[in-house]
Structures are given as C-alpha cells and as structure tokens.
Structure 1
C-alpha cells in the first residue's frame, strides 16, 4: 500500500468502499469527500503514490529528468549485465589461454553469477540507507576495475578473482532499477518500464555472447580476441559511469506519513509557544515572533486535488551529492537484511521470486551449455556461430518488451475500473498466461532439440 493513509482515513475509506484495504490494495479513484491528485486536469485517474507539492519530489520531475534518470539506470544495468554471461562462445579460447578444461572454465560464469546474487544483501541495504546514486557509482567503478583485471589476467586464478569482483560489482543490475522506477514513475505506468528494464537486463546477457563470439574469433591475433572484448567492456562501463555521474540524480524520497506530520507539527507548535513566552518575558510585550514550520498542511495533504509541480519539478543540488545523509544508517541496514527473510513467509513473494529465478535459470542453462553442445563433434561450430545463437533469444525478448508491459498496464487498469477504482496486485496475473504457455513450449523445444 503506497498511499500514506492515517488510521482514521483508512477506516473511513474501508467503510465507504466496504472493502478491507490491505497491503497491495490501492485506491485509484476519488471516494466520497476524499479527493486525490489526478494524472491531469481532465483525468479521473488517481496517481499512486500521491506526489508531494515539492518541486524536488522525483514524481514531480519533468519528462526530461525522468527520461535522463531511467536512461542512465538502464545503461548501468546493461553494461553490468553484459560481462558475466558473455563467456559461453569464448570457452575454447579460455581453455587454451589458461591451459584448463571445460568444467573448470564454466566455473568462471557460475562463480560470477553466484557472487552477483548474494552481493545484493550488501547493495540493497546501502541503496535504502544512502540512496541509489552512490550504489550505481560505486558498483560501476568496481565493474570497471574487474573488466581491466579480466583483460589483463594471465592465470586461471587471476581470471577467477576478476570474475568474483565482477559478480560483486554487477549485483545492482538485478535489484536497483526496479526501485528507481518505483521512485519516479506512478503505479499505472510501471508495467511498461519494468518490462523495459527486464528486456535491457536480459538483453545484455544475450548481446554479450553475440559480441563476444565474433571478437573471440576475429578481433585479435594469437588468441587475444577475447581480451579485446573486456577492453570494450572497460569503455562501455566508463561511459555509463560518466552518464550516471552527471545525469542520474538521487531518486530516493521520503514521503511523510500523516502520523509523522502530526508529530512534527506538534513539536513545531511547542517550540513556537516556547519562543513566544521567551519573547514576552525578555521584551515585556505581547508581540509574537512569526514561526513557519515548513511542514505540509495535513488536511491539504489528504484532500488535495491538484499538484502545482506535477510534471514541472526538477532535482535539487542536494540530490546530486555522492550520497544522502542518514540519521540511523546501521538500523536501516539491519532492517533491510531482516525484511527479505520475513517477506518469504508470504506465498506471493515466494511465487514472484520463483517466476523470476526460474526464467533466469532456464536462460542461464542454455547459455552455459552452448559451447559444450555445439563446439564439440559432430557440430564443431565456431565461437561466431555459437554467439549468434543468442539472436533467437534476443528476438523473443524484444517481442516480449513490446507486448508484456503495456498489456499488463492495460489489463490491470481495465480490471481496476471494473472494480470501482480499487487496484489489487493480482490484477496483473492474467497477463502472464500467454507468456507462460510460450515459455513452456520453448522449454520443450529446447529440451527435445538438445
């Protein structure tokens, strides 16, 4: 539940709607005397979450700044995902370069992916405590160093160390951009952008081998083409770092709960009263000092119909700092470490995790077995041909990007209107049906073809 309702408002809405508002349920229409900020002056679509009347609120940013932010985040996601799974076509060259065997060099990818997944137990708490911007900048620097290390490695152990470092640095590619999308986009817009994120992330895993195969075979002499692929990564990661440094402001934004606003207003009122007494005592007059709390008016916050800064705001200088201050960083980090384990008690979280992880695992299996199946007899395919196998997966991903996200937004919005403006998270589930069938068929075809 992204709308910050206080208890009284929540009970009033539940009584008027005769619906229990639980986490995940969102109200996307005016209810009785409760009016909300709309997407435009001529629209009845309520914005979730409700933007504040602050020009620096990421939800209020202009289209330019939202585009810049998501472009930089997508570029970081792409370059961080391109390297770890790009080894499949160049495995024969790596076997020769490090005087190793197939089982050993496959571990380069396996170890990098394993470390990548667990590294998010570090990156996600840091992004919550200090912001998305420092996580992107730090992780890109780590990926930059690991790409140089991979390009210059001369021993098996050295290259494995670079893989471990690459896994640590590439972790944010799997977790941070969905948070950025939620920071700057409204609920009814997120399906398309989440699909765009997945396409660019998984697309990077597919394009990596497509580029690595020809480079391993042709871009160098004396078995050095695979090293040039990592020098290419150095350039791409460096460009993404510069983009994020200048084009990615901090998107993490604290939205105050009504109870928090009341507490701060009460503290400000007490402080104002103390100052008034002090002035009367010292000056012996009834003149009161003016005191502005700088807090949003609570009644305005819960009933406002217009946001003067919607689509007109921009990031502040504070949002371009290297990190955002946090009064209780360790408490925040410990909370983020505990919450994932708590959430796994909910079946919907396990279901969502299974869907994403199983889809990724199917692709990972195809990626790791390409050279093993087709570089050996009777095929004896070159790295170029093996790398080009990934064009098929890329075509499917592009089709999915064009259809899945917009279809999900359209279906969920239709079901929301039918449900009197009440959005439930399971309204996106019908969108999965055709894609589930296609994936099932694809797995059968792959298994039989293998």
Structure 2
C-alpha cells in the first residue's frame, strides 16, 4: 500500500487510476479479518460489542474524516499532496511492521504431531490433516485435563510437568520470521471460507455490511457532485466538511450498538437464567434499521431541493448512526457464535460486501441523471431499511437455525483440528 501511494502521487493517466485502486483494495482488504480475529481473541462476550464499535469508529474515520482533511489539503497544496501524505504514513507503518510485528502463527506443541490421544490411542487423520472423529478423544474429555490424568491414565508412566524444562522466550529474530512451517494443507484454508456460506448468521452479517457499505459509497460518491455545484457551490474544503455529519452519526451508532448492546445482553442473559443467546443482540436493531433508510431519504431530498446544508448533514448523521449500529451488532454475533472460525467467516463477509460496493460508483452518475437525487435516495432508503429489518426474522428463528446448523460447524472445526467444538 505504501508503494501504491507513492505511485498514485505521480500518476498521469486513467489506466493508472484503475490499477492503483485495484492494488489498494487488494492490499487493504487484509486488515478486515485481522481486526476481527483480534477482537475475538482479546475480549469477553460482554465486551465484544464495544470493541467492535471502536473498530468501526476507526474504519469510518478513514471513510469520512480523511476525505475531509484531504479536501482541505488539496485546496491548499494540490491533490497530489494527499497521496504524498498517505505515502508517508504508510511508509512509517510499513517500517513499524518490519521492526515490531511479530509472527502470529501459533502452533501448539501438543497439536504439532497428533499421533496419540489422551488415552494413548493412535489418532487417524485424512489427507487434509483432519482428525477422524471415531479415533479422536471423547468430546467431553480434554487431552490434558486433570480429569484424564486422574482417572483414565492413572498408574501409567507420565512425565511430570514440573520436571520438564521451561520453554524459553524466542529471540527477537525468531519472533520476526516471515515463514512458519506447519502440516496444515494450504488448500483447505482457501476452501473453508466458502463453506461458511451455509450458516445463515454469517450470510446475514455479510448482507448487512454490504448494505451499509454500498450506501456509504453512494453517499460519498454523490457528495462531491452535489455540493460542488449550484446552489451550494462549495469549494474542495467545504465538500469534504459535508462528510462530518455521517462521521458523527457513526460514532453515536457505534456507542449504541456496542456499549448499549453489551449492557442489554448482560441484562437479558440474567433474565434468561444466566444463559446468553447471541440473538439477544438483535433486539436493539429495529430502531437503527429505520434510521438508516430515513437518513438516506432526508439527505437526498434536502440536497436535491437545495435546502440549507444543515439538513443533508443531519440526514447523513442519521444514516451513519443506523449503519454503524447495524454493522457493529451483526459482526459481533458472528464472533459470538463462530469464534474459532472468525477469520474464515470474515473472509466470506468481506468478499460479499465488496460486490455491491464495487458496482455503485460506476452507476451513480447515470442513476442521478435518469431518476434524480430525490427518487434515488428515497428508493435507496426503502431498500436499505428493508434489508436491515431482516434482523426481526433472525431474532425469532435464529436460535433454532443456529442449533440445526451446529453439526456442519463442528465438522469444519474437526477438519481444523478442533475436537468436540473446542
């Protein structure tokens, strides 16, 4: 991304615009799964909504605040300096990665050579390295639990954990190595994300994120066309500042879906006898679902009729509130249910959400010319809210669907070496 930024700062042809944007998207998409995996690893269930909210705030900061800053900078120094700035920031980030980003591939010693289970029986694996369930340990028995050592292998000669030499910390260069060899088949890692399409909760999240992102792209694409022309006639800086409304709305929506969402599920779990159901997060979504469509409609009508700039800003803020809340809650549900396959799930989600986002910029000009801003945004708002309201049937049928699809999920887990869904 750093290299493409410097290339973009010197580009002179339309072909270079397409090539650089393609490479930007290819490289930048890697962060989608890394961020969600980090949230799944570091935070408890009642904290994940808030953590996801903070992540979404960071994402929309790039979507709305950075174009605002870029507009002011382009007006003062020229558009090439926006790419110079991005190039400088990404070059510094690249150097930080080279010097401090340690190898994250974790290979547990106990799973390095799965030749015997906790009872001393051989474990059979297939060509892909998946464990044969008929020879794997019982689902309720952990390979190295106290229960196994106390009851199942009592009297056998087992090495004392205290007598084993401690595992020392790896050196700086070992922690920065580029490659970690494992016995995992690479082909399986490419196929598994598409297997996640069989789970409705993952598809629900993919559709919600695609819905929000598609209309974010529509709003940002029309923003410069509308507010640089009459009756507004804003300069580059003014056009960029019009994106502050959606940014403020996104912050409020992230707090609503994150902080409030975490608070609500704790209370609902207590009322449910201490049992947490992931679908409990969906109870707060009908309000932001309506807000997302209503904000789009207000933004389009106000901008088309030339109302004072505060009205489209308020419309953008209402839309941003709904979009952030929908994305926060739907993404958190996937982590709650499929924590061990978070990366694979979000690879599929990223793939699906990018499909409409790619097509919107190519059609926006012709849509405005043929339908006008008012009709485009009112129809878009109705479609957006209709998609968001899919949260209602998922709230009702979600638990039954989740339980019915648990068998295929455990099958995928076993292929990845997780026994008994652990």
- TM-score normalised according to structure 2 size: 0.56
Matches within 5 A, 1:225-236: 225-236=78-89
Cα distance in 2 for residues equivalent to 1:427 and 1:412? 6
Q: 1:348 to 1:296 in 2, by over 3 A?
A: closer
**Residues 161 and 360 (structure 1), Cα distance of their counterparts in 2 relative to 1, 3 Å cut:** same
Is residue 384 from structure 1 mapped to residue 232 from structure 2 by the alignment?
A: no
CA distance in 1: counterparts of 2:148 and 2:251, whole angstroms: 41
- Pair 1:442 & 2:295 matched: yes
Task: Say if 2:175 is the partner of 1:322.
Answer: no
The alpha carbon displacement at 1:202 in A equals 1.9
The aligned residue for residue 15 of structure 2 is 157
1-side partners of 2:49 and 2:170: how far apart?
A: 28
SS in structure 2 opposite 1:422? Answer: coil
Q: Is the 8 A contact 2:74 2:82 kept in 1?
A: yes
Q: Give distance in 2, aligned partners of 1:431 and 1:441.
A: 17
Total equivalences in the alignment: 265
> Where does residue 167 of structure 1 map in the other structure?
25
Q: Is the 8 A contact 1:261 1:298 kept in 2?
A: no
Contact 2:116 2:122 (8 Å CA) reproduced: no
Shift of the alpha carbon at 1:386?
A: 0.6
**Shift, 1:268, TM fit:** 9.6
Displacement of 1:174 in angstroms is 2.8
Q: CA deviation at 1:149?
A: 0.4
Cα contact 1:196–1:401 (8 A) shared by 2: yes
Equivalent in the alignment of 2:396:
none
TM-superposition CA deviations, 1:261-288 (whole Å, max 9, x none)? 8934455999xxxxxxxxxxxxxxxxxx
**Is the Cα contact below 8 Å between 1:250 and 1:319 reproduced in 2?**
yes
User: In the alignment, is residue 426 of structure 1 matched against residue 279 of structure 2?
Assistant: yes
TM-score (norm. length: structure 1): 0.52
1:88-103 mapped onto 2 (5 Å cutoff): none
* Mapped pair 1:190 → 2:190: no
Match of 2:225 among 357, 368, 372: 372
Q: 1:302 to 1:243 in 2, by over 3 A?
A: farther
Give 5+ residue unaligned stretches, structure 2: 124-141, 151-167, 304-422
Deviations 1:128-155 (A, max 9, x none): xxxxxxxxxxxxxxx0011010001122
RMSD over aligned Cα atoms: 3.3
* Cross-structure match for 1:346: 199
Structure 1 CA distance for aligned equivalents of residues 143 and 209 of structure 2: 40
The residue correspondences of 1:4-403 to structure 2 (distance < 5 A) are 143-219=1-77, 225-251=78-104, 253=106, 263-266=116-119, 297-299=144-146, 317=171, 319-328=175-184, 331-332=185-186, 334-403=187-256
Q: 1:296 to 1:211 in 2, by over 3 A?
A: same
Aligned CA distance change for structure 1 residues 300 and 187 (closer, same or farther; 3 Å): farther
Question: Deviations along 1:10-43, whole A, 9 cap, x unmatched?
Answer: xxxxxxxxxxxxxxxxxxxxxxxxxxxxxxxxxx
C-alpha separation in 2, matches of 1:395 and 1:336? 38
- Work out which structure has the larger RCO, using CA pairs closer than 8 Å and 6 or more positions apart in sequence: 1
Change beyond 3 A, Cα 1:245–1:431: farther
Please list every run of 5 or more consecutive structure 1 residues that lacks an aligned counterpart in the other structure.
1-142, 220-224, 271-294, 304-313
Displacement of 1:406 in angstroms is: 1.6
Aligned to 1:416: 269
Deviation at 1:180, TM superposition (A): 1.8
